[in-house]
Structure 1
Amino acid sequence: MPVYRQGVTEGALSILPVDNHHGCGQLGAREIAATVLDPEMPMLTLADLGVLREVSERDGVVTVTITPTYSGCPALHEMRVDLKERLLDAGYERVEIRIVLAPAWTTDWISAEGRRKLEEHGIAPPQRGAGPVTLNLVPPSAAVRCPRCGSRDTTELSRFSSTACKALRRCEACREPFEHVKEI
């Protein structure tokens, strides 16, 4: 009965196998769940995004635990449906999807591969957390690098873009607009 739990490697969330007794060439439940794409950013898998927290198989039941990017995430329903369908299609007969809100998801959980894919698709990945944050009423202003030309001379055009977790920015050097996944 393999169980996969979150593990943190160099600040990024990774799902680590605790036990794996699958035959050669056979994909396990964790490997299958890790291929499900995020409905809002389909260049990323749920594993890339860091929302896939745990996958376990016990007594014929596969339990997948996910943490949405935020509690009101409109893609949560689609994530649940896609995970369940993918595992049922792979031959697992009983699948449960658990939603866990604590600890809350953070952009630090986006994998290095996920960050690379975001940039490859013209979306500026979020910066990693810098440690203790002074609490005040104004968020710290951090330079966001343009995913096209690399300039840090960028301007936020809108706090919200195609999804609530992204902002719309423009590079002042190349004048190209781009989306930026906001740090949470």
Structure 2
Amino acid sequence: MVATDRTTGPERARAAAAAVTDPELPMLTLADLGILRRVEIEEDGTAAVWITPTYSGCPALAEMRADVDRAVRGAGFDRVEVRTELSPPWTTDWITDEGRRKLSENGISPPGGAPRRAPGPVPLTLMPTRTVPRCPLCGAADTEELSRFGATSCKSLHRCRSCLEPFEHVKEI
């Protein structure tokens, strides 16, 4: 069946794509992460879905595309195109409040505000920028970074000096 209803089709396709979970943070949907940009039904009935990866080299992008394709086809669309949109680049500011809550509930420290940059070329900074996140388990602010890279390159590994538990933190981008 080809879904051609242009009134309910976009909402149905968007709901299907929005419910897809992130392969690296499965407690979050693509909508929670702000990765899902837009969904349109084209004249020929193709469901076109635009996503923005968390960064251009994200190894999970192929899996996300396949999962979105499968979910939208499961919502009744025979033709699906998942397109990558790189501009503007994704920022952790796009993570929804619900997404931040889910991260914290799952023991992962959500990111703070993304760094603000002036328009134009990205300035070179030789000193690393470090965020000192609160512990998502006990709420303490006294934490230390154990490794700049966690299970994925978008997370860092920390330990709470109060409860002594390790936790991951989603880096601000």
TM-score, normalised via structure 1 length? 0.83
Going from structure 1 to structure 2, the CA distance change for 1:49 and 1:171 (only over 3 Å counts) comes to same
Shift of 1:139: 3.1
Show the 5 A alignment for 1:111-126: 111-126=96-111
Structure 2 unaligned segments of length 5 or more: list them: 1-5
Q: What runs of 5+ residues in structure 1 fail to find an aligned partner?
A: 1-19
Pick aligned residue for 2:32 from 38, 48, 51 = 48
Residue 170 in structure 1 maps to residue 156 in structure 2: no
Residue deviations 1:140-176 (CA, integer Å, cap 9, x gap):
3332100011111111101111111010000001100
Task: Report SS of the residue matched to 1:28.
Answer: helix
**AA of the residue aligned to 1:29:** A
The 2-side partners of 1:101 and 1:56 are apart by: 18
Q: Does 1:22 align with 2:13?
A: no
Q: Which amino acid aligns with 1:140?
A: T
- 1:5-45 CA-partner distances (Å, limit 9, x unpaired): xxxxxxxxxxxxxxx8329xxx6111111000001100000
> Which SS does the other structure have where 1:136 is aligned?
coil
What amino acid is aligned across from residue 43 of structure 1 in structure 2? M
Name the amino acid aligned to 2:28: L
In structure 2, the partner of 1:182 is 171
Give the % identical residues.
58
> What is the RMSD computed on CA atoms of the aligned residues?
1.9
Residue 21 of structure 2 corresponds to residue 37 of structure 1: yes
> 1:81 corresponds to which residue?
66
Decide which structure has greater strand share. 1
Question: Counterparts in 2 of 1:137-156, with a 5 A limit?
Answer: 137-156=126-145
Question: Is 1:104 aligned to residue 89 of structure 2?
Answer: yes
Partner of 1:14: none
**Matched pairs, number:** 163
CA distance in 1, matches of 2:110, 2:117: 21
Residue 71 of structure 1, aligned match among 53, 56, 59: 56
Higher helix share: 2
